Structure 1
Amino acid sequence: MNDASLIRLLVLSAIWGASFLFMRVGAPAIGPAALIFLRVALAALFLWCVALALRRTRAAGVHWRHYLVLGLFNSALPFLLFAHAAQTVSASLLSILNATAPLWGAVIGAVWLRQPLSPRQLIGLSCGVAGVVVLGGSEAAQLPAGGGLAIAAALLAAFSYGIATTYTKAASAVDPFANAHGSMWAATLLLLPTLFFLPLPATTPTTGVVAAVIALGVLCSGVAYLLYFRLIADIGATPALTVTFLIPVFGVLWGYLFLDEPVGWHTLFGATLVLSGTGLATGFAPASLLASWRLRHVQS
């Protein structure tokens, strides 16, 4: 990994960590469905402009079923569930629960592909579950009514990401940019009907809410996808998984700095269990990636 890729990795982690901050700001003000529709619609328009500039195509006529599946499980459903949870749950906790996605992916992959989990993966899964119990139990005790359901919604969102990851591995190869572009339009179409059942906001959204919506769509979806696919092209899909471990770091930091969210022992301990479990279940160690980066600098 060169310096440019490391910077992209850190920037991407910071952006995706901030997405939970923006949802925490926007969801209570305009509702989760409106927020997420605007998020995916803005992302689709942004990626459409990029596609025009780069002369890229989605091949929608060929891959439309694929985009619908990906748009549902990788965008529309998890975004909506996280936004629902963001009305109650802290941005810090949401970012940590998001890190369970690879755990769910390992379990779904084992069932889907009929490959039994290894002892290492079982230990990782147990650590992840223990981390969720520590986080969820401590947080739910301090949340208002419905807090437990909000945490369950966040876990279901991470589970949806696991489905999308497993599906993508088994599906026919499609260009990563086309995947992002096509799935955003599919998610927009899937979420469009929800707008007909939504009440209008009681008050005009503030400038901060509008900024959060735009940041979610353009920065946390459009720009983030471009960074992510550049990372995959430069360092490969497996090293790019490091972003999973870094998102909670930034998610907790942004929540602490901008929303005054407390960081207690249960947050740190639970996050450690979740991230350790993710590393064991996926067989990926971020330390090895950083070691290779240091080795490159020593050799140069």
Structure 2
Amino acid sequence: MSGAPLAAGTVERDWRTPLELTVLGAIWGCSFLFMRVAVPAFGPYALVEVRLLLGALVLLPFLWQARAQFPARRWLWLAPIGLINSAIPFVLFAWAAQRAPAAIGAICNAMTVLFAALIAFLFFGEKIGMRRAIALLVGFAGVVVLATAKVSGLSIGAAVMAGALAALLYGLGVNLVKRHMTGLPPAASAGATLGCAAILLLPMALTHWPTAPIPMLSWACAIALGVVCTGLAFLMFYRLIARIGPARASTVTYLVPMFGALFAWVFLGEPVTGAMVVAGVLILGSVAVSQKR
């Protein structure tokens, strides 16, 4: 009798995990669409401030529940991690969304895994290995292909560089989180870093707040970006990590560019060019090789 429940539980988990990974990939793919729609009205700083604040509010109950684990000395690291891992990359992606199709940011975002390995090798003494070194070179080749491409006759190089820099900061943030926030509840940690990032970005958001009325569609996209694509997405991601481990959970990286490009094509009519496909294959292929055990 003990075998039947185990088999049923296994089937349930096997069915649930790919579904949740797909949903999370779609949510994060949507984030680039929402930025593309909302940033012309908000500007990068105001939009990211709304995103950070709403994401932090969603996670605030988890931070409050674990507040005893966050003494004053912890905040000396939480503030800079929030700046490096949230505020600046979010602003860079929003800035890029003003200048290039939504798929560009989504493709650049996939470089995070490669940059995390590179920074761990350069600054923290972790081994990189020949396979991962080759994967890094291939991934960077993909960025070059993307940066030198044109969409509708316009150069997107600056937007690609902004997206790549954001992914580099994410990679640095991953390493800082691993070394300075181990043992803390993940959802509470995310709420703390998002809250710190919102406070640090607030002066820039106030001085750059738009003077013209913001359309309701832009507000709807900004709210969805903060509540769904930041706060709720973090909760879903950390729940996946707890259940299937970080390596399997990180496979969502492969889904984000595909959903980002699909949604931009369907809802905004943005083209998917040959250069974008080649760059995406190079970057995602290099990530897959670097992750292979």
Scaled by the length of structure 1, the TM-score of the pair is 0.87
What residue is the counterpart of 2:3 in the other structure? none
What residue is the counterpart of 2:29 in the other structure? 17
Contact 2:29–2:256 (Cα < 8 Å) also in 1: yes
Deviation at 1:268, TM superposition (A): 1.5
> How far apart, CA to CA, are the structure 2 residues paired with 1:241 and 1:58?
29
SS of match in other structure, 2:150:
helix
Evaluate the alpha carbon distance shift between residue 51 and residue 113 of structure 1 in structure 2; reply closer, same or farther with a 3 A threshold.
closer
Contact 1:97–1:154 (Cα < 8 Å) also in 2: yes
Matches within 5 A, 1:55-204: 55-57=65-67, 59-62=69-72, 63-139=74-150, 142-143=153-154, 147-173=156-182, 174-202=184-212, 204=213
Evaluate the alpha carbon distance shift between residue 116 and residue 88 of structure 1 in structure 2; reply closer, same or farther with a 3 A threshold.
same
What residue is the counterpart of 1:3 in the other structure? 15
Structure 1 residues 256-285: Cα deviation after superposition (integer angstroms, max 9, x where no partner):
11111111222212101000111223336x
What residue is the counterpart of 1:274 in the other structure? 283
Contact 1:18–1:251 (Cα < 8 Å) also in 2: yes
The range that moved more, 219-228 or 273-282, is 273-282
Contact 2:41–2:210 (Cα < 8 Å) also in 1: no
Q: What is the total number of aligned residue pairs between the two structures?
A: 279
Structure 1 residues 5-57: Cα deviation after superposition (integer angstroms, max 9, x where no partner):
221111111000110001111111110000000100011112224656xx443
Q: In the alignment, which of 34, 38, 50 is matched to residue 38 of structure 1?
A: 50
Contact 1:75–1:187 (Cα < 8 Å) also in 2: yes
Gaps of 5+ in 1: 285-300
Deviation at 1:170, TM superposition (A): 2.0
SS of match in other structure, 1:201:
coil
What residue is the counterpart of 1:288 in the other structure? none
What residue is the counterpart of 1:224 in the other structure? 233
> How far apart, CA to CA, are the structure 1 residues paired with 2:176 and 2:63?
25
What residue is the counterpart of 1:265 in the other structure? 274
Consecutive aligned runs of 4 or more in structure 1 exceeding 4 Å deviation: 49-52
Contact 1:127–1:274 (Cα < 8 Å) also in 2: yes
Contact 1:21–1:91 (Cα < 8 Å) also in 2: yes
RMSD (Å) for aligned C-alpha atoms: 1.8
The range that moved more, 250-259 or 67-76, is 67-76
SS of match in other structure, 1:241:
helix
Scaled by the length of structure 2, the TM-score of the pair is 0.89
> How far apart, CA to CA, are the structure 2 residues paired with 1:116 and 1:50?
35
Deviation at 1:135, TM superposition (A): 1.6
What residue is the counterpart of 2:10 in the other structure? none
> How far apart, CA to CA, are the structure 1 residues paired with 2:77 and 2:24?
25
> How far apart, CA to CA, are the structure 1 residues paired with 2:63 and 2:189?
12
